């Protein structure tokens, strides 16, 4: 599925690798209130997306799934999708659609 975040496209995955999970917090997303945790690249420590821990709306079926923001992930040839690397500044924006 395709999602949108502050920096453009993001994608929902059932499983991601080479990431660590931060602490869970409640965030009001476009689809309602969710408990989410930022996910970090194990190589560089940058936030690359977030993981849905709990959906407070029972119609949402994202629990346990992760969203990766396209611009924060390396392409298949090793090129970077983002224009300038973002420092490790804080949580993801959580603007999924």
- Give me the pLDDT at residue 22, please: 96
- Digits of tens for pLDDT over the chain (97 positions)? 567 777 778 888 999 999 999 999 999 887 788 899 999 999 889 899 999 998 777 777 788 999 998 877 766 566 665 444 443 333 444 444 3
Strands (E), 1-97: 2-5, 8-13, 19-29, 32-41, 47-55, 66-69
pTM (whole model) above 0.85? no
């Amino acid at each position: 599925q395709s999602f949108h975040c502050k920096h453009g496209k993001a994608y929902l995955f059932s499983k991601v690798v080479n990431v660590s999970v931060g602490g869970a917090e409640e965030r009001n997303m476009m689809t309602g209130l969710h408990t989410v945790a930022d996910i970090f690249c194990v190589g560089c420590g940058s936030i690359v997306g977030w993981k849905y821990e709990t959906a407070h709306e029972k119609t949402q079926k994202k629990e346990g799934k992760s969203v990766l923001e396209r611009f924060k992930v390396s392409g298949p040839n090793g090129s970077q999708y983002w224009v300038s690397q973002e420092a490790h500044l804080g949580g993801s924006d959580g603007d999924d659609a």
